[in-house]
Chain A
Amino acid sequence: MYLGFVVLLPLAALVWRSTREGGHGFWQAISAPEAVAATKLTFVAAFAVAAINAVMGTVLAWVLVRDRFLGQGIVNALIDLPFALPTIVAGLTLVALYGPRSPVGVDAAYTRWAILLALLFVTLPFVVRTVQPTLLELDREMEEAAVSLGAGKLTVFRRIVLPNLVPAILSGVALAYARAIGEFGSVVLITGNLPFKTEVASVYIYGQIQSGAPGTAAAVSVLLLAVSLGVLLAIGALRRWAWRHDG
């Protein structure tokens, strides 16, 4: 009941509104040049961010589990900071360092690099937090056996460790991808929201709402909703698959 009232009812209203102008109106809304540019940019940026996260997230998880150094506990706690920090604050901190008044002389504001930065900031924890527990539970004996049979470090990682981590990495990447597609707060300050250049889908929807075009906003929203739902179902399928292969 609660779930239906809080989540499903508003979403039903959203889907209903997007179809009120018929299939043709829906198509027109999502194929408007600015909408296409914004959604394309969003999907490409989210993809790039997911790929970078796959590598850096795994590296960070590895450093946290297999390495030992001073202050490791603090680093471990810091990983969650992007979850705890409001997105608008995340955006502001990035503007402060990489914006027009940057003390290091890097001005990425109002460019596409800014989108990448903001999305990397907010999606940082996902892959780390899915890979870390898997890496922790991984049996070291397999790796030791491989080493004793003459395998080099790189071979061990590629042939033994990585295959075991793939499900965890993929589900982290999928979460990061879903998050990156919908991100709003952190990109709104640093990107300048220039149509056709740095305007992502969420910002486009926001703009359409503000300029009194809820039909267009609803159509693009439904597109995002469908992608989010697809990613969630994919993660669910992935988990079941990994679980079956475990036991």
Chain B
Amino acid sequence: MGRYLLRFAGLGYLAVLLVVPVGLVFWRTFEHGLSAPWHAVMTHDARHAFWLTILIALVAVPANTVFGVALALAIVRRRFPGKGIVNAVVDLPLALSPVVIGLALLLLYGRLGWFGPFLDRHGIQIVFALPGMILATIFVSLPFVVREVVPVLREIGTEQEQAASTLGASGFQTLVRITLPAIRWAIAYGVVLTTARCLGEFGAVSVVSGRLAGKTDTLTLYVQDQFESFDLTGAYAASVLLALLAIATLVAMNVFRPKEEIR
């Protein structure tokens, strides 16, 4: 009896909070057929927002993958002063409000920021343009690869790497032939999480983008714009597009999920 009560409570909570709202958006989008949402996502602004989102992810995800693995290696394999602080700072983007992150970038690269006068003189625009949006996205999605790779690196230990180097492998060879293959699934899982975060980033990008429709609007910003200008069809259609990307991520997450969590 108690068992069913718990099951009912848990699943009911999930339904009310998660399944029914998301389902409703899908239904609302397609209730008048496919053509209206199709035309909504094929407008110039929506297409531009879509490609901008993809472009940002294409820069941010590889950057965070390469540097994420490097950071994880540094955290696990090296000893250096201030390691505890580095560890905490890596997690910071997870706990920090995206608006705060956006503001921090604004104060660094904006007109009145530290680098503002220098950038101004050289005619480089970072804030309210693509570079700022990329920096913001890199910032918010930084922890994922590091967090997935660190525990795996700890677990595999250094025995194989040491064996390789006693057999005459160089540092680079050891990395490519021994270490990277051992952590490849963790990297893949981290990349999936990073991608999801990049595609869905809203708060930080919203602060640094300047919100120029058709120029610096990403897909998430486009959703808000359409909603606020009462174009619900457009907002729902773009949301469904993002939700489909999220569901694809979810499927990928379950494929790559670290083995010990599979039951």
Separation of A38 and B66 alpha carbons in the complex (Å): 39
* A10-B108 contact, Cβ under 8 Å, with A136-B263, A189-B224: yes
In the assembled complex, which residues on chain B have CB atoms less than 8 Å from the CB atom of A62?
Answer: 6, 10
Separation of A79 and B126 alpha carbons in the complex (Å): 37
A-B contact count (CB 8 A): 235
- Whether B227 and A86, one on each chain, are in contact in the complex, defined by CB atoms closer than 8 angstroms, is no
A147-186 contact mask (Cβ, 8 Å, vs B): 1 or 0: 0000001000000000000000000000100110111110
* A96-B25 contact, Cβ under 8 Å, with A13-B107, A80-B253, A182-B95: yes
- Whether B107 and A214, one on each chain, are in contact in the complex, defined by CB atoms closer than 8 angstroms, is yes
Query: What is the CB-to-nearest-CB distance from B202 to chain A, in angstroms, rounded to a whole number?
Result: 4
In the assembled complex, which residues on chain A have CB atoms less than 8 Å from the CB atom of B25?
Answer: 89, 92-93, 96
- Whether B22 and A85, one on each chain, are in contact in the complex, defined by CB atoms closer than 8 angstroms, is yes
Q: How many residues of A contact B (CB 8 A)?
A: 78
In the assembled complex, which residues on chain A have CB atoms less than 8 Å from the CB atom of B28?
Answer: 96
Query: What is the CB-to-nearest-CB distance from B114 to chain A, in angstroms, rounded to a whole number?
Result: 5
* A84-B113 contact, Cβ under 8 Å, with A7-B92, A185-B202: no
B175 within 8 Å of A (CB atoms): no
In the assembled complex, which residues on chain A have CB atoms less than 8 Å from the CB atom of B200?
Answer: 84-89
Q: Who on chain A is nearest to B228 by CB?
A: A189
B91 within 8 Å of A (CB atoms): yes
Given contacts A202-B97, A205-B100, could you give 9 more A-B pairs where the C-beta distance is less than 8 Å?
A10-B139, A60-B13, A124-B17, A175-B95, A184-B202, A221-B104, A224-B100, A228-B92, A229-B88
Binding site for A on B (CB under 8 A): 2-3, 6-7, 9-11, 13-14, 17-22, 24-25, 28, 67, 70-71, 86-108, 112-114, 135, 138-139, 142, 193, 196, 199-203, 206-207, 219-221, 223-224, 227, 235-236, 239, 242-243, 246-247, 249-251, 253-254, 260-261, 263
